[in-house]
Structures are given as structure tokens and as C-alpha cells.
Amino acid sequence: MQPANPRILTINGGSSSIKFALFEGGDSRRVVEGAISRIGLSEATLRVKGANPADNVSLSLSAPDYAAAVSVLMSWVEGHNKRDALTAVGHRVVHGGPKYREAQRITVVMVRELHEFSPFDPEHMPEELLLIEAFHRRFPDLPQIACFDTAFHHDLPRVAQLLPIPRRYEAQGLRRYGFHGLSYSSLMEQLVSQGDPTATAGRVILAHLGSGASLAAVRDGKSVDTSMGFTPAAGVPMSTRSGDVDPGLVWYLARTEKMTAKQFNEMVNARSGLLGISETSSDMRDLLACEPRDVRAAEAVGLFCYQVKKWIGAFAAALGGMDTLVFAGGIGENSPPVRTRICDGLGFLGIELDETHNAENRAVISKAAGRVAVRVIHTDEEQMIAKMVGAVVSLN
């Protein structure tokens, strides 16, 4: 049974950062949020902001690797746990593999299986498992809950799951999984709370556009397709990820540059996308600022908007039309010029922006007479993790 005033810590571990937040009460009220950033680089930082001024922290630290950053986080958590005991910890786990589809308590068996799934996403899973195991060592009696980023897409139609490679690989778990599921769950929940009937009985395209970017096609509240596939590197170009590329590049670069599979993986995940095309920055804000005088920046922005537009068209075809388009993520929520370029020319689908509303980042940026409602929604993965954890804890 859930305590009267639960205290839930959410953990969102990335390859070079760890975001965390503390929620209190049955309504999952956020009271503290923070992050350890620039892990593995010089001048890593710990920043914490809380309702209580005493919780505020901003300092430089040494975090040459992920283990060092985890140690810093454990010390911070230990101080809070002594003052007000935590009820549970919720982890964003990027990959649930073919088995895990619902948030649930982490067990020894689950950890062993997640290690087996680790090759599915070597960019994220090892660090996430390091965090889970560190919490278990430091707080062995504290319940830990895994919230899977692939769960939202777990029941994709079979035609959207299949990879067009020899069938025998499917038995090894090779299929299209999709990611950003916690974000999409948050967006769909907010659509329901906003009274949009298409959230439960309609055709919705969700565009999570940030440093990682993907789109999802949703019919009657269920995911029917998504742009990311077996790994988060697939789909549209991102800050440093390539998105979809011709698989023949692997063999070509192996022959012409002696590039290994590991080097190719590093290239498409860390040196491609906006950074690779612009050769200057992975940040959309930087590229928009300098595109008038830098053709490389202009081409990076143009490619991003073009590819997102193509996916919207593809998903409209998969859905047989569309009723609602949602922009979310750092770019989707905060860049009116990018939204304009993506939507330009999509009038045939019923998308018509009100440019004044778009420039003001309003909640609804489409014209009142437009057939498609175009919305801007702040996605909140941490809040969604807290709610999922609260639901699991209340059942135990």
C-alpha cells in the first residue's frame, strides 16, 4: 500500500548526464530537480534546484567517468534519504527488449535479463544498469522501479515491428522497438486532460524533437508506428545521430577507410546529424542564428525540417489521415521557425498554422478553421516516471 506522503526519486541516465527529480505526495508534486552534466569532460557540474532554498546546489566537480558521477549522485541521495526517507526510485530504462512492457519492480532476474539486452542499446543500457546496481548496493531495501522507454510501442502492429532481414534474427529479439515512450505517454495523457477527443478516438502524430528526435503515429490512443527502430539512431536526423542511412555505407567505408563496425557506430551516434552536416554545432539554436551566413548551418536546418516533414506525410498515410499534430521536446516546444518550415506545404493534409500563435509559442498554433489541430505541449518524462512508480508501489 502506498504511503500517505510518498517520496519518489526519478532517475534519467544518459550517456554524459544524469537527470533526477524528487516528487512528493499522491499528486506527484515535484519538489527538487537536478542534473550531473558533462560526465567524462572537464568541469563536470552538479546543479540542483528545489522549493527549499537549502536544496539549491551549483558546483563544479570531477567526474572523469560514469562511475564517478554515480558516486556523487549517491552522496546527494544519501543526504536526502537521511532527512526524509524515500519511498522508491524510478529509473528510465531505455530498452525493455521483447519482454518488458510495463513499469515494474526491479529484481535480480530482471537485472540479469537487462544485461542480456544491453547489446541492443550499448549507448545507454550499461550506464542505466550501473545506476540500478549502485542504488541496490547503497540502499538495498529501497524499492527500485523500471519504467521502459520502449513500452509505449511494445504492441506495434506486426507489419511495423518487422525488420526486412532474414527471419531467423527475429528469434534473437531483432525487431523495430521505438523509443521516447515515456515522452509519448506524457503527451497522450496531457491530450486527454486537455479534452482533445482524438487522444482516445482519433489519429495523432507526435513529434518529439530535441537532441534526440522521433515521431510516432497513434490511432485511438495506441502506437501504430514510430520513426526510431531497433536502436535510437534510426529515423530523422538528430543533434549528433544520423537517423536513417543507407546500410551500404558500412561496407563502403570499411573498404575505403578501413572503418570498423565500432567506428561506424560511433560516427552515426556521436558525429552525424546536425553536427555532422553543419560541422560547427549540434544545437539547433546555434544553427538558426548563423544560417544566414553559413551554408552548412542552413543545410543542416533544412535537412532536419525536410526529414521531419517527410515522416509526418508517411504517418498520415499510415493512419489514413490525421486529426492532431503535437510538437514537443526542446526544439519542438521552443522553435517557431522550425515548426513553420516543417508545416510549410502540408496544407493538403489539413495543416494550417496561425503564424502569430506559432511565434508566441501558444498551446494551439493552428488556424481555427484548419482541419488538423496543431499543438505545442511540454513533455514531462520525469513526471510520468513518478506516476508509474506511484502506481506500482501502491500495488505492493
Average pLDDT over residues 179-196: 97
Average pLDDT over residues 222-228: 98
Q: What pLDDT is attached to residue 198?
A: 95
Which segment of 14-28, 182-196, 240-254, 320-334 scores lowest on mean pLDDT? 14-28
**Which of 149, 225, 323, 380 is labelled catalytic?**
149
Chain mean position to CA 235: 13
Q: Is the pLDDT of residue 340 over 90?
A: yes
pLDDT level of residue 116 (50, 70, 90 thresholds): very high
Domain boundaries of the chain, sorted by first residue: 7-148, 195-376
Q: What pLDDT is attached to residue 52?
A: 85
Domains 7-148 and 195-376 share a fold: yes
Can 344 be counted among the known catalytic residues?
A: no
Q: Is the pLDDT of residue 334 over 80?
A: yes
Instruction: Report how far residue 122's alpha carbon sits from residue 138's, in angstroms, rounded to the nearest whole number.
Output: 25
Q: What pLDDT is attached to residue 55?
A: 86
Average pLDDT over residues 66-79: 92
Q: Is the pLDDT of residue 210 over 80?
A: yes
Q: What pLDDT is attached to residue 84?
A: 77
Contact by Cβ (8 Å): 384, 189: yes
User: Please, what is the average pLDDT of the chain?
Assistant: 95
CB atoms within 10 A of CB 180: 31
pLDDT level of residue 88 (50, 70, 90 thresholds): very high
pLDDT level of residue 28 (50, 70, 90 thresholds): confident
pLDDT digits (tens, 9 = 90+) for 280-297: 999 999 999 999 999 999
Instruction: Report how far residue 377's alpha carbon sits from residue 363's, in angstroms, rounded to the nearest whole number.
Output: 7
pLDDT level of residue 2 (50, 70, 90 thresholds): low
Q: Is the pLDDT of residue 312 over 70?
A: yes
Q: Is the pLDDT of residue 396 over 80?
A: no
Contact by Cβ (8 Å): 146, 110: yes
pTM for this prediction? 0.94
Q: Is the pLDDT of residue 81 over 80?
A: no
pLDDT digits (tens, 9 = 90+) for 196-206: 999 999 999 99
pLDDT level of residue 59 (50, 70, 90 thresholds): very high
Average pLDDT over residues 121-133: 92
For domain 7-148, the question of CATH label 1.10.357.10 is answered with no
pLDDT level of residue 3 (50, 70, 90 thresholds): low
Q: What pLDDT is attached to residue 244?
A: 98
CATH topology of domain 195-376: Nucleotidyltransferase; domain 5 (3.30.420)
Q: Is the pLDDT of residue 41 over 60?
A: yes
